[in-house]
């Protein structure tokens, strides 16, 4: 047997000894097949195109002497020297691959020893130093691949060309990485009274694709609010789940303020955290009521009473209810469009804007002398209350009589006549303060006030103000007038006092010729 085939057989036996030509290896194993080649005397180079595929030259179970074979359950790799050659000539060998099972990735690497130069390969290979590399993808069961390599030995000697077979089989692991996504729905008071407590309800929902762990809800109140607890924790919030949480805070400062609420979770990212803002106006509602009426009045005389309602706060008020409660001796003359019930009158103001004022006016009188109180109560729909009251001293009505008498009648034009005026307080308890007015017709002209009393004469009228009549007493007043026109002259006497609705009247006639 030639030396070349002795070397080839020797190498084949070594492969079979260490790996076995029918051995089965894992699909990702690397297997190296070596060939020992000796440079021979010079011969003609072999044309690659003239070599038939391995499937046409070797039957399935045939093992030829000049081949090295590796086999496992996925493929068979056979390495065969097709044409030896001498130094300087082209030596040809073949690597044939038979696929026994589908293979996703297969790599064949040949490493050329020193002094063995590459001439040509089919198919083309990738070169990495002295390595020849072929890559095959998606090989199907029953298919075959053929690699032809021509190399040129530079010096005489033995050469070993190892072939490494690499199988790469992918195993897909399908997985999904979820991400929590928190959303906040917020319900809070648009307005809140100063010093009152407000409630904000937070509904946090996990709209993401993974459980949110260590969820924290924080209420970031402005400095206008004080809260005992502004944080809430949840151990976890499953996908699609919601949790309702309430925060309470007291308003300590007036104005418009914005509060922020935040939901975060362990290892959260800002774009998946929950945020919500709510603007709340802190207001102070105020209302004031004032009762106005006479401090003194005469019984049976109607007096006007007023109720003044002031909205002194910064909010509009609704359904303001006013009630006047008065003593039993009062008689109601005008209710001011209120509803009378026994000893009370009631009103409702549906809407009272901030800063506005409303006035209710009534008329009442008393049938008995003495002090009597009227009390006004006020209450709004939001619970504000106010009250005021006043007392009137009701006085007994005195009796007043008046008279006017001329001393000379008739008189001629140019003559004077003296008039005596008497005003008497017939009452025994209360003084009377009033005003005396004497008005003359065109026939007479007033000339003088004869008593030591302060008064005024203007045109045809004499006026004596602030006449005080003590109980049971009277006053006498003397005046004079001159006849200026022939006819029946008239002197009209009026006395007016606080307790009188209409003045007391008396008249005296004087003839002028």
Confidence (pLDDT) at 70? 85
430 pLDDT band, cuts 50/70/90, is: confident
CA dist list (Å): 386 to 285, 288, 310: 12, 6, 10
Confidence (pLDDT) at 230? 92
Angstrom distance (rounded) from CA 264 to CA 223: 23
340 pLDDT band, cuts 50/70/90, is: very high
The model carries a pTM of 0.50
Number of other CB atoms surrounding residue 426 within 10 Å: 14
Confidence (pLDDT) at 453? 85
- With beta carbons less than 8 A apart as the criterion, state whether 397 and 499 touch: yes
Q: pLDDT at residue 24 above 60?
A: no
Task: Of 127, 236, 251, give the one whose Cα is nearest residue 189.
Answer: 251
Task: Of 387, 337, 381, 386, give the one whose Cα is nearest residue 360.
Answer: 337
75-83 and 432-440: which strand pairing?
unpaired
Angstrom distance (rounded) from CA 27 to CA 38: 33
Angstrom distance (rounded) from CA 430 to CA 154: 156
Q: What domains does the chain contain, in order, with CATH numbers?
A: 3-168 (2.60.40.1170), 182-283 (2.60.40.10), 288-395 (2.60.40.10), 400-512 (2.60.40.10)
Number of other CB atoms surrounding residue 140 within 10 Å: 9
Confidence (pLDDT) at 36? 54
pLDDT in tens, 476-511: 999 999 999 999 999 999 999 877 878 999 999 999
Q: Tell me how many helices (H) and strands (E) the chain has.
A: 2, 38
For residue 177, what are the contacts with CB-CB under 8 A and spacing of at least 6?
210
31 pLDDT band, cuts 50/70/90, is: low
Percent of the chain having pLDDT more than 90? 69
Task: Of 493, 483, 511, give the one whose Cα is nearest residue 404.
Answer: 493
Q: pLDDT at residue 214 above 70?
A: yes
Confidence (pLDDT) at 10? 29
pLDDT in tens, 243-269: 999 999 999 999 999 999 999 999 999
Confidence (pLDDT) at 369? 86
């Amino acid at each position: 047997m030639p030396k070349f085939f002795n070397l080839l057989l020797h190498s084949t036996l070594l492969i079979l000894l260490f790996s076995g030509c029918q051995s089965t290896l894992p699909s990702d194993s690397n297997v190296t097949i070596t060939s020992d080649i000796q440079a021979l005397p010079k011969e003609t180079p072999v044309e690659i195109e003239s070599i038939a595929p391995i499937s046409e030259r070797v039957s399935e179970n045939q093992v030829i002497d000049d081949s090295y074979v590796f086999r496992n359950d996925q493929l068979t790799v056979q390495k065969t020297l097709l044409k030896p050659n001498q130094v300087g000539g082209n030596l040809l060998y073949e690597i044939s691959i038979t696929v026994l099972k589908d293979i996703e990735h297969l790599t064949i690497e040949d490493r050329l020893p020193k002094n063995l130069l590459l001439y040509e390969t089919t198919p083309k290979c990738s070169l990495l130093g002295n390595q020849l590399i072929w890559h095959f993808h998606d090989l199907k069961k029953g298919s075959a691949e053929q690699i032809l390599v021509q190399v040129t030995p530079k010096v005489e000697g033995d050469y070993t060309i190892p072939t490494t077979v690499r199988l790469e089989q992918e195993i897909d692991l399908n997985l999904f990485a979820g991400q929590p996504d928190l959303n906040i729905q917020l319900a809070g008071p648009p307005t809140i009274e100063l010093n009152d407590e407000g409630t904000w309800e937070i509904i946090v929902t996990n709209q993401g694709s993974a459980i949110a762990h260590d969820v924290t809800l924080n209420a970031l109140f402005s400095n206008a609010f004080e809260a005992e607890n502004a944080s809430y924790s949840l151990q976890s919030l499953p996908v699609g789940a919601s949790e309702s949480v309430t925060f309470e805070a007291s308003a300590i400062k007036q104005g418009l303020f914005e509060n922020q609420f935040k939901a975060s979770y362990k290892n959260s990212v800002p774009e998946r955290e929950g945020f919500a803002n709510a603007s709340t106006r802190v207001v102070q509602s105020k209302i004031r009521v004032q009762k106005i009426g006479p401090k003194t009045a005469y019984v049976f005389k109607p007096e006007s009473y007023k109720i003044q309602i002031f909205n002194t706060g910064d909010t509009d008020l609704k359904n303001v209810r006013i009630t006047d409660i008065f003593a039993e001796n009062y008689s109601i003359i005008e209710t001011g469009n209120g509803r009378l019930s026994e000893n009370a009158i009631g009103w409702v103001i549906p809407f009272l804007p901030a800063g506005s004022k409303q006035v209710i006016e009534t008329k009442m009188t008393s049938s008995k002398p003495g002090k009597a109180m009227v009390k006004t109560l006020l209450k709004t729909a939001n619970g504000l209350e106010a009250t005021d009251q006043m007392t009137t001293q009701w006085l007994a009505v005195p009796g007043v009589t008046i008279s006017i008498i001329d001393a000379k009648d008739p008189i001629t034009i140019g003559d004077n006549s003296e008039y005596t005026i008497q005003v008497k307080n017939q009452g025994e308890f209360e003084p009377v303060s009033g005003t005396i007015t004497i008005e003359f017709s065109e026939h007479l002209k007033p000339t003088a006030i004869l008593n030591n009393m302060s008064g005024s004469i203007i045109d045809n009228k004499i006026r004596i103000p602030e006449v005080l009549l003590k109980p049971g007493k009277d006053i006498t007043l003397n005046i004079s007038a001159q006849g200026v026109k022939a006819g029946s002259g008239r002197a009209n006497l009026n006395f007016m006092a606080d307790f009188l609705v209409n003045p007391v009247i008396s008249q005296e006639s004087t003839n002028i010729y």
